Amino acid sequence: MSEEPIFIRSKLGTSRYVYNHRNPVGLALIILTPLVALGVLFGMQTESTWSEGELRDAVRKGVRDLGGKRHYTSLEGNHGYLIAEAIREGGIGPGHGVDTREEEGGGYTVSTEDTETEYCVRITLTLDEQPPVVFPGAEDRPPPDPGMLAFYLSHATFSKGSCH
C-alpha cells in the first residue's frame, strides 16, 4: 500500500481536502466518482420520463380503475382530469406529464411529451342511484341537471390512436 494519504489539502489556497492522485485509492475515487454520478443522473432521468410501454400499461390500468368508480362531478365540462388522476393513481410510470385533450367526438386523447403514441379514452358517467347518506323521512330528490354536482359512476374504454 502507498504511504501517500488518500486525501490531501487543496493547493488552491482553500483548506478543503481533495483526493490524492498519488494514492491508488485516491486515484480510483477520482475515476469512479464521476462515473457513479453520471449513473445516478441517468437513472433519475430514466425514472422521470415515460416509455411507450409504461404509457400503454398506465392507460390500460387507469381505464380499468375508472370502471364503476364514484365521482362527485357534473355532466358538463372537461372530465380529462378524471383520466389523468386514474393514470397517476395507477402507479405506473412517473405519474406526471400526462396530457388529456378533449376532442369534438366526446373522447379524450391521452399522450405525453416523452412518447409519440396516443390513446383515445372515452368516459361515460351515469348517475349513482345510491346516495352516500339517506336521512330518514327525506323525500326523493329529482335527478340533477347536467350542470349540477352529483355522484356519478364512471365507465371508460380506450383504443390506440387519437380521438377524431
Half-sphere exposure of 3 (CA within 13 A, CB side): 0
The more confidently predicted of residues 29 and 142 is: 29
Cβ burial of 95 (10 Å; 0-12, 13-18, 19+) is middle
Say how many Å lie between the first and final Cα of the chain, rounded.
71
Confidence (pLDDT) at 91 = 84
HSE-up (13 A, CA, CB side) for residue 64: 7
* Amino acid at the residue 84: A
Model confidence pLDDT, tens digit, residues 54-106: 889 999 999 999 988 888 888 888 888 899 899 988 888 887 888 898 888 78
Q: How confident is the model at residue 158 (pLDDT cuts 50, 70, 90)?
A: very high
Q: Cβ(37)–Cβ(30) under 8 Å?
A: no
Put simply, whether the predicted model's pTM sits higher than 0.75 gets the answer no
The C-alpha atoms of residue 114 and residue 57 are separated, in whole angstroms, by 15
Instruction: Say what the pLDDT of residue 90 is.
Output: 86
